[in-house]
Amino acid sequence: QSFGSKTTWGLFSQQRQSVMSIMAFHMRRRATQMLAVDVCRLSQTRSALIASQLVASLEDTGVSEPLHRSDFEHRAVVDVEGSNQFGSSFGFTGHSTPKPLPEFQR
């Protein structure tokens, strides 16, 4: 009987681990989605300065290629599950170069 309960417990803990890892995956994915939306919102509001500062700090940390703010926003959106599900609503597509955003009103 003790042997049976051990295997049951083993199966249970394995299942629990896989459930936990699935949950962690979904939470990470959700966080990525939220980040993509936040970056887009940043670009669309007066806080666009923050977005450009973020890109500047990325360049300072030795990112190999020069970054443009719109390029960064585009990548953040497309990186969500490799799709453009947010991108389309912000005027980006997954295939073409990102459209330049209109200059921001002061």
| % of residues, the chain, pLDDT over 90 | 0
Kindly state whether residue 23 falls inside one of the protein's structural domains: no
Kindly state whether residue 16 falls inside one of the protein's structural domains: no
Q: How many residues does the chain have?
A: 106
DSSP class per residue in 33-88: HHHHHHHHHHHHSTTHHHHHHHHHHHHHTT-SS---HHHHHHHHHHTGGGS-TTGG
Range of the domain at 64: 28-90
Name the pTM for this structure: 0.26
Kindly state whether residue 62 falls inside one of the protein's structural domains: yes
Kindly state whether residue 73 falls inside one of the protein's structural domains: yes
Per-residue pLDDT tens for 84-93?
444 444 444 4
Quote the number of domains for the chain.
1
Kindly state whether residue 19 falls inside one of the protein's structural domains: no
Kindly state whether residue 66 falls inside one of the protein's structural domains: yes
